[in-house]
């Protein structure tokens, strides 16, 4: 199975917080799920922790390499830029990752993240969806200590909603 590609400064184990969530399901393919992940305006329809999605520079509605966008999540207003975008191609995993940030640079309130997704068709009609995020900054230190872990739980809700939305669309 494939893994996430980490940029310098965001490698798990060397950051202030890290979370990893994964599902492997049957009955769906990368092609079924991709539109629900790659079009951020769809996120709030299946993931309640994502709101206020908008794009900059006349871009959108789909993510693409280099695109800047904004959304709110976990109580943070997140500015983001896509840093990896590999659309579905037979025989290789689809990938999307963004650098997100909230707060003023150089302050204790600053949070920087690398949030990556990997969608991979597996043998036997299975689909693997992996999402991982590393975080840097004082808010990340606090999030890492929180019990229950809001990042793990929130990203699991995102995965579950993504799968449910794709299944519902496929049945329609």
Q: Which domains does the chain have, with CATH numbers?
A: 17-171 (3.30.530.20)
| pLDDT (0 to 100) of residue 76 | 84
Q: pLDDT (tens digit, 9 = 90+) per residue, 79-119? A: 999 999 999 999 999 999 999 999 999 999 999 999 999 99
- Angstrom distance (rounded) from CA 45 to CA 14: 34
Residues with Cβ < 8 Å from 57, sequence gap 6 or more?
Answer: 67, 68
| Beta strand ranges found along 74-154 (DSSP E) | 76-86, 94-102, 111-122, 126-136
List all residues 6 or more positions away from 80 whose beta carbon is below 8 Å from its beta carbon: 68, 69, 70, 71, 98, 99, 100, 101, 115
Q: Please check the confidence at residue 1 and state whether its pLDDT lies above 90.
A: no
Residue-wise pLDDT tens digits, 124-163: 999 999 999 999 999 999 999 999 999 999 999 999 999 9
Query: Closest Cα partner for 85 from 69, 101, 72?
Result: 69
Beta bridge pairs of residue 135: 17, 113
pTM: 0.96
Place of tokens 């606090």: 142
Which two structure tokens, joined as six digits, stand for 114? Answer: 């690398």
Q: H-helix or E-strand containing 162? A: helix 150-171
Average pLDDT of the chain is 97
CA nearest neighbour of 6 among 128, 97, 88, 139: 97
Coil, strand, or helix at residue 165? helix
Q: Which residue has the tokens 């908008």?
A: 54
* pLDDT above 90 as % of the chain: 97
């Amino acid at each position: 199975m494939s893994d996430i590609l980490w940029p310098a400064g965001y490698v798990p184990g060397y950051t202030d917080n890290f979370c990893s969530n994964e599902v492997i399901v049957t009955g769906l393919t990368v092609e079924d799920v991709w539109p629900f992940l790659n079009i951020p305006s769809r996120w709030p329809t299946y993931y309640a922790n994502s709101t206020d999605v908008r794009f900059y520079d006349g871009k959108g509605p789909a993510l693409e390499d280099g695109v800047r966008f904004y959304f709110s999540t976990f109580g943070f207003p997140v500015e983001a830029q896509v840093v990896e975008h590999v659309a579905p191609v037979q025989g290789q995993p689809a990938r999307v990752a963004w650098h997100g940030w909230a707060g003023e640079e150089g302050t204790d309130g600053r949070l920087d993240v690398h949030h990556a997704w990997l969608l991979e068709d597996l043998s036997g009609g299975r689909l693997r969806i992996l999402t991982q995020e590393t975080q840097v900054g004082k808010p990340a230190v606090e999030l890492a200590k929180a019990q229950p872990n809001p990042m793990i739980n929130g990203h699991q809700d995102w995965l579950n909603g993504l799968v449910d939305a794709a299944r519902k669309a496929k049945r329609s």
